[in-house]
């Protein structure tokens, strides 16, 4: 009897569980739908305020009182405006709504990692799981893969309405946002990679730096001259090293050598990567010359950023450093400097950075070639399912997507871009933001963050602003913006990271003396040919020049 009862009970329990799961599934999957009604659409006019109001009213008329968006980004701790820019934009849009009787709230969830590439990987793995953010700021190189998979919104039509907004960005940077003729991103920031020269070492070695930046700009000063200066500094005992550069990866700092020697990395016509044997050989031979003269450490590629590279540069042990504009403020906010007077490790003061470092473009490889720099602009991209976390998504999809676009447009207000540039030492992407850096009145307001409407953003960035919004830093940004005219971009090709890894491997072997520059170029060719994907993707061109040496 007991057995029979328990059997019946078990069957009933199983049936109840099955029905329960079925019902839950039904309710869960049918919730949030549009109920078959006609989707609501809002036409963009190009007038921001009117469009924002139209969108707000469309939401309100459909019973929506709160909308939620998620924004992800990553990078150094000073670049948090890559997410807070959207939080501030939401506050500004809500103010427009309040002034026009639209009572809808925008909530922004933020997620910020120190590795932008991890954010990108999470975006692609989570897109299909409905967990990807609505908006992401990340490297422009990812646009190609995200767009080809349909993960991000094509903004071409929206930007056709917002033509003057589109044209407010520097053309080179805006051009980097396109993929197959369509625009998928809005520039967020960009950067340049100056060659820093230690002024004290130069003075000690009797090297006159006056007008050097202009001579580099004109192509008069080449890497051979930098080599001679570095040697002079080392020979006179003024510096431990002549040149220091990044570790680990050849991308993107060292790739500049290829462009500086007039080489190519990408063939747009055939959509193929390029191994320019001549330029790559000259890059390897140049670095080899530095190592042979004891000017560049042979184990440079495995130095530690925090313990070796920055302390060596900041404590005046290296004549030149291939760095980036962001290092200017990083040296102020991190304790790389060992104060000889107090014996403590601390960040440099802005006036000390100015006193220690001179900066120029990355010089031309040889006479007749041009100086260069390399940029990797960050781009705002919008999820092709933007707004999906909100109610009545099927009905209001168009409205939600356009609101995401307006959030990005607002986050590109000149003051938001300018604040990001100042606190993170990245270069502004619009002329209007650039002009603010010279606007005394605006800079005075910046001290109290009067222009920021969101308390969350104000609290989060006030310390950073008080430490970085300094006339010396702002002057540095103004003085380096011209470098964007000389900028190059790395290819938006899916196989490029693999090729860049091979470059890093080859240059490491050259620096360690395990391979001659010539062998290293041939090693690259062999490596490319042995990988079917790379072989298809890379065009090998040019020949190794015979008898070439850096100093002629």
Partner 1 sequence: MPGMRDVEIRSRSTELLIMCIVFMLSLPVITGYALIILSSFSRDMVTNLDPSAFKPTLTNWILLFHGRTALFAGIRVNIWGIVFNTLIVALGISLLVTITGALTGYAISRMNFHGRKHIMALLILLHAFPGSVLVVGVAFIYRLFMPSYTYVVYYSFFFVILARAAIEIPMATWLMKGFFDMIPWEIEWSAIVDGASRIRVWWKILLPLIKPGLAAVMLFGFLAGWMDLIYVRTFLAEPTLAVFIEYNVHAEYAYLPLVAAAGTLYLLPTILFFLFAQKLIFTISVSGIKG
* Binding site residues, partner 1, CB under 8 A: 2, 6, 25, 28-33, 74-78, 80, 83-84, 110-115, 118, 122, 125-126, 128-131, 304-306, 333-334, 388-391, 393, 423, 460-461, 463-464, 467
Which of 404/538 has CB closer to partner 1? Answer: 404
Give the list of residues 6+ apart from residue 387 with CB closer than 8 angstroms, or none: 67, 69, 134, 393, 396, 397, 399, 400, 401, 403, 404
Cβ–Cβ < 8 Å for 494, 144: yes
Within its chain, how far is the Cα of 127 from the centroid?
Answer: 21
Cβ–Cβ < 8 Å for 240, 388: no
Q: Which among 488, 486, 539, 497 is positioned nearest to 251, based on CA atoms?
A: 497
Which of 83/255 has CB closer to partner 1? Answer: 83
Which of 111/178 has CB closer to partner 1? Answer: 111
Which of 388/482 has CB closer to partner 1? Answer: 388
The CB-of-369 to partner 1 minimum distance in angstroms stands at 30
The CB-of-466 to partner 1 minimum distance in angstroms stands at 11
Query: Could you tell me where the beta strands, DSSP code E, fall in 240-399?
Result: 241-244, 266-267, 272-276, 318-322, 337-338, 345-346, 357-360, 373-375, 378-382
Max CA distance (Å), the chain: 105
Q: Cβ atoms within 10 A of the Cβ of 267, count?
A: 15
Give the list of residues 6+ apart from residue 479 with CB closer than 8 angstroms, or none: 359
DSSP labels, 41-61: -----S-HHHHHHHHHHHHHH
Which of 423/452 has CB closer to partner 1? Answer: 423
The CB-of-216 to partner 1 minimum distance in angstroms stands at 27
The CB-of-171 to partner 1 minimum distance in angstroms stands at 30
Which of 122/276 has CB closer to partner 1? Answer: 122
Q: Helix, strand, or coil here: 413?
A: coil
Which of 460/504 has CB closer to partner 1? Answer: 460
Which of 6/100 has CB closer to partner 1? Answer: 6
The CB-of-380 to partner 1 minimum distance in angstroms stands at 17
Q: Helix, strand, or coil here: 303?
A: coil
Within its chain, how far is the Cα of 231 from the centroid?
Answer: 34
The CB-of-468 to partner 1 minimum distance in angstroms stands at 9
**Rg of the chain in Å (alpha carbons):** 27
C-alpha–C-alpha distance, residues 552 and 548, integer Å: 7
The CB-of-419 to partner 1 minimum distance in angstroms stands at 13
**Nearest 5 degrees, angle CA 457-CA 461-CA 467?**
165
The CB-of-84 to partner 1 minimum distance in angstroms stands at 8
The CB-of-266 to partner 1 minimum distance in angstroms stands at 26
Which of 288/334 has CB closer to partner 1? Answer: 334
Q: What is the length of the chain? A: 552
């Amino acid at each position: 009897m007991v057995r029979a009862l328990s059997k019946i009970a078990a069957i009933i329990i199983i049936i109840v569980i099955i029905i329960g799961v079925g019902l839950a599934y039904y309710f869960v999957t049918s919730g949030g739908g549009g109920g078959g009604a006609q989707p609501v659409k809002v036409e963009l006019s190009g007038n921001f305020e009117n469009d924002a109001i139209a969108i707000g009213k469309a939401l309100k008329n459909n019973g929506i009182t709160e909308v939620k968006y998620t924004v992800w980004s990553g990078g150094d701790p000073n670049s948090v405006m890559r997410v807070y820019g959207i939080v501030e934009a939401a506050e500004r849009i809500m103010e427009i709504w309040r002034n026009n009787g639209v009572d809808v709230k925008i909530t922004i969830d933020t997620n910020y990692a120190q590795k932008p590439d991890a954010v990108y990987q999470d975006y692609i793995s989570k897109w299909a799981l409905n967990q990807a953010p609505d908006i992401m700021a990340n490297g422009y190189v990812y646009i190609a893969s995200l767009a080809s998979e349909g993960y991000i919104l094509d903004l071409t039509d929206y930007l056709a309405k917002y033509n003057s907004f589109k044209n407010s960005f520097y053309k080179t940077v805006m051009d980097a946002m396109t993929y197959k003729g369509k625009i998928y991103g809005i520039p967020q920031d960009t950067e340049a990679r100056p060659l820093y020269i230690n002024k004290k070492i130069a003075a000690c070695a009797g090297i006159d730096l006056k007008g050097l930046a202009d001579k580099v700009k004109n192509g008069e000063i080449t890497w051979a001259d930098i080599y001679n200066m570095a040697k002079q500094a080392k020979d006179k005992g003024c510096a431990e090293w002549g040149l220091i550069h990044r570790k680990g990866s050849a991308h993107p700092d060292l790739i500049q050598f290829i462009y500086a020697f007039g080489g190519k990395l990408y063939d747009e016509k055939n959509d193929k990567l390029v191994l320019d044997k001549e330029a790559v050989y000259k890059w390897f031979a140049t670095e080899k010359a530095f190592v042979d003269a004891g000017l560049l450490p042979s184990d440079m590629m495995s130095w530690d950023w925090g313990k070796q590279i920055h302390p060596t540069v900041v404590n005046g042990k290296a004549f030149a450093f291939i760095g980036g504009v962001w290092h200017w403020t990083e040296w102020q906010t991190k304790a790389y400097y060992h104060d000889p007077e107090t014996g403590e490790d601390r960040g440099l003061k802005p006036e000390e950075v100015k006193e220690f470092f001179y900066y120029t473009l990355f010089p031309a490889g040889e006479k007749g070639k041009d100086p260069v720099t390399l940029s990797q602009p960050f781009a705002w991209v919008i999820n092709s399912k933007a707004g999906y976390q909100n109610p009545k998504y099927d009905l209001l999809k168009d409205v939600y997507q356009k609101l995401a676009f307006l959030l990005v447009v607002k986050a590109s207000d000149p003051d938001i871009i300018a604040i990001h540039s100042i606190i993170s030492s990245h270069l502004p992407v619009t002329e209007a933001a650039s002009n603010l850096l010279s606007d005394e009145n605006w800079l005075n307001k910046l001290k109290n963050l009067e222009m920021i409407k969101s308390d969350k953003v104000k609290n989060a960035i006030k310390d950073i602003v008080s430490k970085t919004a300094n006339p010396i830093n702002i002057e540095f940004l103004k003085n380096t913006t011209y470098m964007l005219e000389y900028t190059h971009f790395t290819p938006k090709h899916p196989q490029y990271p693999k090729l860049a890894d091979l470059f890093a491997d080859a240059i490491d072997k050259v620096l360690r003396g395990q391979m001659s520059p010539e062998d290293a170029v041939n090693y690259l060719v062999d490596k490319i040919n042995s990988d079917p994907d790379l072989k298809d993707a890379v065009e090998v061109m040019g020949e190794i020049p015979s008898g070439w040496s850096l100093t002629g």
